[in-house]
Structure formats: structure tokens, C-alpha cells
Amino acid sequence: MGAGRRTARILAALVICTVTGAAGACADGGGGGGDGSFELQDKWDGMLTNAVRAKPAACTVGVGAGCEAHAAAIDAVAGKVLADVRARPDKDRYQAAIDAATTITGQYDDYFGRMCATVPEVTFTPEETQKFIDCTNLYTSIVTGVNDLRFGLRPSDESDA
């Protein structure tokens, strides 16, 4: 099902909910008759938001111990989300979340492995500068990857294929 048809389906459900007040059709916004399909998003969105917002004051440019601790906290929540999704019988509907959480974990492993906590904020050699750039890019990818993870917590609709 294309995006236009999906939007039309949602709008039709909204009209039915508004005009008839049919509780069954409105239980989950018309996306499946109240099957709790946004359960994961509801469960994890606050924790993901808090992990991103908990950036220490010492983390200003994506390197250093404060940024590593922040990235580790995000990775820890992503790991919990991943375990929760993989334990579900309908985990195939959440492949985007699995991919996003796995990406965050891989990026954090790379960030930690490059010892980005030890990279200075001011660099003097081309090698230090390149490492600084690599580490800040990894840090940024970890933080912004949470948006992909949030989006992936909305189940895919098998009928969209």
C-alpha cells in the first residue's frame, strides 16, 4: 500500500471516529482495531528522549569522557529496546527498530574502540584532527540515530508490501 492510500485509510478512519463515535474503530487511530500497535513506542519514547537530553555539560563537541558517558547511556537504552523488540512474537514488524538499535550499538562500539574519550577538543596534528572528526561524527550519529529508532518503534504494516 502506498503512502497516499495509507493516508486515505487513516483519514477515513478519522472521519468514521468523528462522525459515528464508534469506539472500536477509534481505539488505536484506525490502524488495527486496538491491537496495541504503538505499545513499544509508548513504552520506550520517554526513555529514549531522556537518554538524549541527559547530555552532560562537559560534552560540548562530541569527544571526551562526558560525551562517551552520554553515548554509553544512549547505547544502553538502545540495547534494552533491541532486547524487548527481539523478544516479541511480531518482531518482524519492527525490523526498522532492530536495524536502528543495531546501528547505534555498532557506532558506540566504534566510538569506544577509537578511544574517543581521550581525544582532545583542540587538535594540533592532522592525525588528531582526523580522529576528532571521526569521533564527533560517530557521536552525532549515535545521538541522531535515536530518531530512527523512535520511528522504527511504529510497526510496519505487512499489507504495505
pLDDT for 60-73, tens place per residue? Answer: 999 999 999 999 99
pLDDT at 35: 52
In a shared domain, residues 18 and 69: no
Higher-pLDDT residue of 23 and 149 is 149
Tell me the whole-structure pTM to 2 decimals. Answer: 0.74
Question: Cβ distance 86 to 98 under 8 Å?
Answer: yes
Report the alpha-carbon distance of residue 82 to residue 98 in Å, rounded: 6
Residue 94: what residue type?
Y
Show the domain range for 83.
37-160
In a shared domain, residues 91 and 32: no
The count of domains in the chain is 2
In a shared domain, residues 74 and 129: yes
